[in-house]
Amino acid sequence: MHPSTQHQGWPARAKGECMNFLDLLRTASASLLRSKARTILTIIAVFIGAMTITLTNGIGTGIKSYLDSQLGNLGATNVLFISLKSPSSSFTSGPQKYSNSSNAAVSGGGLRGRQQMMTSADIKIIQSIPGITSAEAAHSPTPDYIQGTAGKYQLSLTQQFGATTAPMVAGSGVSNASSASQVSIPGDYVGPLGYANNASIIGKTVKIADTNAYGMQSIITATVVGVQQNSLLGKSTLYGNTAFVNQLQSIENQGIPAALADTFQGAYAIFPSSDTTSQITAIKNQLSDKGYDAKTIKDEEGTIFSAINAVIIVLDIFGVIALLAASFGIVNTLLMSVQERTKEIGLMKALGMGRVSIFVLFSIEAVLIGFWGSLLGVGFAALIGHVVNAIGKHGFLKDLPGLSLLTFPLSTIFSVMIAIMLIAFLAGTIPAWRASKKDPIEALRYE
């Protein structure tokens, strides 16, 4: 071939010979570089969308990963949290008739402060369900304060259900098998209670005050067996074993009728940790038939994650809008390129390039725009994440060890890039199809 017939940006080939993929890739890259400003602006549009989607997904992944590791604070994974089903109601069937039984628990529970409560009769029914190894009342005492060697401090208390899975920085979790009163405390309480470090408070006793229905305050002691790692789920929550919680509950029951003293809002049941999902579902169904709602830690996790996912989806919409704008930019960029390179397309066809090769050539240009835009977008998002995590670790996240606010697993990065490249390819199909359909004779005559 005479040198004069070789066009800048694509290699000379013998007539009838097709360009291989590497030739097409080099030609597509060279074509994009001819209009640098236009190409860069289009890549920037893709970059903004890729960065937005990567950041929002990074936030979601980081928070969900952290919550997943911290959900042990809510109890063991082989625990069912059980409550009475809410009475069914209908806005279209009119008022429901009153009866004593309809306003009590299905199994004979009672009312306390006009709220449905469970009783010891419910525990017996729950224990009779096949697959449940044990069941206990879930009390929620509200003690007045906790005191160590110095100061009195407010607290919230949660009964530990099943085996402890909460992450500890010192000591261990409370044991429900022990008859001695035990508590584990958040790390933030160690210094205020008068101890130099986490290890120094392990094995020491603290005083907890509680008030009965007569207004009389009592003080009981409990042994600190562990110091919890600070978390989003309970920075001021102490965990007590069953023996300790029962002591507090007995104080609060003083002065109230015996019938009300035997009531509680919910219960927890233990099932074998080896149970499969279908076995757990079967237990839930049996409890439902008896008039109870039952949830596991995984169910609670799903509820929390659903809320997070909803927020992430809303944020992702902004990224999708940016990508939609970028898609029109890709179409415009390539249509202008097709118009400007009409003679070149005619020459390539005259030298033997078929419609498929022309289509592939312009499709590669679209994919390259998507590739560079997405690569720069996810790369910049990862850089932002690294900086934010580094600042947060020594700043606003210092009290939450283990939390990386932005997390970017490789699977997410590759998924975002592949999705954007696919969008770019689809956006480039119209210009690519128009280029492949051009008549070589008319194209060569184009001025």
Cβ count near 306 (within 10 Å): 9
Q: Which of 341, 353, 250, 241 is nearest to 16 (CA)?
A: 353
Q: Which of 93, 95, 159, 50 is nearest to 408 (CA)?
A: 50
Cα Rg, the chain, nearest whole Å: 34
What are the tokens at 385? 């994440």
Angle, nearest 10°, between helix axes 297-340 and 36-70? 170
Q: Which of 216, 218, 207 is nearest to 181 (CA)?
A: 207
The whole-number pLDDT of residue 327 equals 87
Supply φ then ψ for residue 88, to 5 degrees: -70, 145
How far is the C-alpha of 212 from the C-alpha of 249, rounded, in Å?
9
Per-residue pLDDT of the chain (447 residues; tens, 9 = 90+): 344 444 444 444 434 344 677 888 888 888 888 888 888 989 998 999 999 999 988 888 888 777 776 665 555 678 888 988 875 544 455 565 555 544 444 344 444 444 578 888 899 999 999 999 988 888 889 999 999 998 899 988 888 876 655 678 899 888 888 999 999 998 889 999 999 999 999 999 999 999 998 999 999 999 999 998 766 655 668 889 989 999 999 999 998 888 788 888 889 898 998 889 899 999 999 999 988 999 887 787 777 778 778 888 888 888 888 888 888 888 888 888 888 777 777 887 777 788 888 888 889 999 999 999 999 999 999 999 999 888 888 777 776 766 788 889 888 899 999 999 999 999 988 888 888 887 766 756 655
The whole-number pLDDT of residue 446 equals 58
Q: Match 């169904």 to its residue by tokens.
A: 285
Residues 6+ apart with CB under 8 A from 145: 152, 153, 154, 155, 208, 209
How far is the C-alpha of 326 from the C-alpha of 333, rounded, in Å?
10
The whole-number pLDDT of residue 10 equals 46
The whole-number pLDDT of residue 75 equals 55
The whole-number pLDDT of residue 136 equals 87
**Type and span of the H or E element at 311:** helix 297-340
The whole-number pLDDT of residue 265 equals 84
